[in-house]
Amino acid sequence: MSALAIIVTEPDRIDAALRLAAAAAALSRPVAMLFDGSAVTSLRHGVAPELLTDAMALGVRVTACQTGLAAAGMQADALASGVDTGGMVGFLAEQAGAQVVLA
């Protein structure tokens, strides 16, 4: 089964994107998520949804876009544990061949 890459740009789509990621990971599908734009604010330590923790426990890799962090006035140390930082180009380069979904 091919890898799944989910790009989350809208805060109101986060729960659905996390459920999709968790379901795919539960089926042993490699899953990576990039949170971009205003969606990065949902990754704050102490505020992140429980679904995020559940998805990451299933092996979902979560990345916060550095541009989105800067726009939100956030620093990487404000992110929930286990969340990486990176950019759109690097994320897409790492996901070559993956099915890409925009949420």
Domain count, the chain: 1
Predicted TM-score of the model (pTM): 0.95
CATH number, domain containing residue 66: 3.40.1260.10
Per the structure block, which two tokens stand in for 39?
A: 């969606």
pLDDT digit string, tens, across residues 45-98: 888 889 999 999 999 999 999 999 999 999 999 999 999 999 999 999 999 999
pLDDT tens figures, 5-46:
999 999 999 999 999 999 999 999 999 999 999 999 999 988
Strand partners, 102: 7
Q: Which amino acid appears at position 17 of this protein?
A: A
Structure tokens at 26: 């539960």
Domain, as residue range, for 30:
4-102
